[in-house]
Amino acid sequence: MGGHLPTDPAPNAAGTSMRRMFELYVTAGFSELELSAITHTLAQANDMLAEHWFSWRYVSDAPGLVKGASGMMVRAEPAIMNYGFSDVMIVVGGRQDDKPAWLARARAMQRQARLVVLLSDAATVYIKSTSQPAGGVTTHWRDIAALEESGYHPNLTTRFSENSDGIITAAGVGATAELVIGLIASQLQAPHVAELGNRLLLHTIRKSNAEQPKDIADNEGLFDIHVTQAIRLMEDTIAEPMSMAELTAQVGLSTRHLERVFRKVFNDSPARFYKKLRAKRARTMIEETLMPMVDIAVATGFGSVNTLSKAVKDEYGMTPSKMRARRKISLLAFDEDQSAR
């Protein structure tokens, strides 16, 4: 736990306590990156303020030692239905069941006007299980394409976080620390927020309504401006691929010049790089959705199942059908538990 609460909580100007208790809900295979980002940010805030304003505890539907995706272990208390709610519950991303136990707890806390935050994979499960959210919803960009292809989610965005009637869905992962700063910012003065960002070496604290950098071209500082423009065009036209002549015309370079630049940066031709992007998008759809292969072929510009199958096998060493079968097996938690013994 992140320190014991003092017996003399500090009041704010309205006379209410500034202390906040967070419960961090973990399941087997949780994201250690997200969990560490939460606790480290809260610990740094306490250290900066020289007060224990923020504390936390770990809870789970399977209490005791809970193992993360990379082997990290935490000791979690039982999450008892309709009992012992904290001020805020954050459900950490990682492997999730289709019908997780935390969902009922989240609904109960929502009814009591207690804040619930769902990170990455947890946000994805919530979006799948909620047909008509009151407001916007989001998750990590890697799941957004699959959600859009497999269902109707008109309120789905690609922002870092969204608040839908007291339930915050968020991208999580590397943006988790910024989200936590946002959760506690109302209790801090502006210089404290800036110092906390500096302590965490955050060059910029992005707002919740900022768009996630979901494409390779979003990392503009890594590449030449023409390379960035070419990649962005490729990523925007995966379903209907452009010819190299069309691409070079829009970028404003000759085919030979673009070829030379791509080989220097990626050790690959523009056409081959384009095909890899489409195969990567296809892999996401194969593993994360139940879309028919013919629909995936059309959505990624391959046109036919045979062309899709060859492209995926060339890139990943297995056919789409084997890739989907392997993914199905890995989703069965009890099979994984048996194989680990």
Q: What is the mean pLDDT of each run of 10 residues along the chain (341 residues)?
A: 37 58 97 97 95 96 95 95 92 91 94 96 93 88 84 89 94 96 91 92 88 74 79 92 92 89 88 93 83 91 94 92 67 38 42
Is 182 in contact with 41 (CB distance < 8 Å)?
Answer: no
For residue 11, tell me if it sits in a domain: no
- Number of compact structural domains in the chain: 2
* Confidence at residue 168, expressed as pLDDT on a 0 to 100 scale: 96
What is the pTM for the complete model shown? 0.69
- Beta-strand pair 20-25/88-91: parallel
Which token pair is 66? 């809970």
Is 176 in contact with 36 (CB distance < 8 Å)?
Answer: no
Residues 263 and 129 in one domain: no
3-state secondary structure 275-321: HHHHHHHHHHHHHHCCCCHHHHHHHCCCCCHHHHHHHHHHHHCCCHH
For residue 338, tell me if it sits in a domain: no
Residues 278 and 177 in one domain: no
For residue 6, tell me if it sits in a domain: no
Domain that holds residue 186: 20-199
* Confidence at residue 72, expressed as pLDDT on a 0 to 100 scale: 96
Residues 168 and 289 in one domain: no
* Confidence at residue 52, expressed as pLDDT on a 0 to 100 scale: 94
* Confidence at residue 337, expressed as pLDDT on a 0 to 100 scale: 45
The last residue of a domain, from among 199, 227, 261: 199
- Scan for tokens 């109302």, then name that residue: 186
Residues forming a β-bridge with 74: 66
For residue 4, tell me if it sits in a domain: no
Residues 184 and 271 in one domain: no
For residue 93, tell me if it sits in a domain: yes
Is 297 in contact with 239 (CB distance < 8 Å)?
Answer: no
The last residue of a domain, from among 169, 199, 229: 199
Residues 195 and 250 in one domain: no
Give whole-number Cα distances, 270 to 112, 118, 141, 221, 259, in Å: 54, 38, 24, 19, 6
- Going by the DSSP 8-state scheme, the letter that residue 174 receives in this structure is G
Which has the closest alpha carbon to 178: 132, 210, 143?
A: 210
- Scan for tokens 């992140």, then name that residue: 2
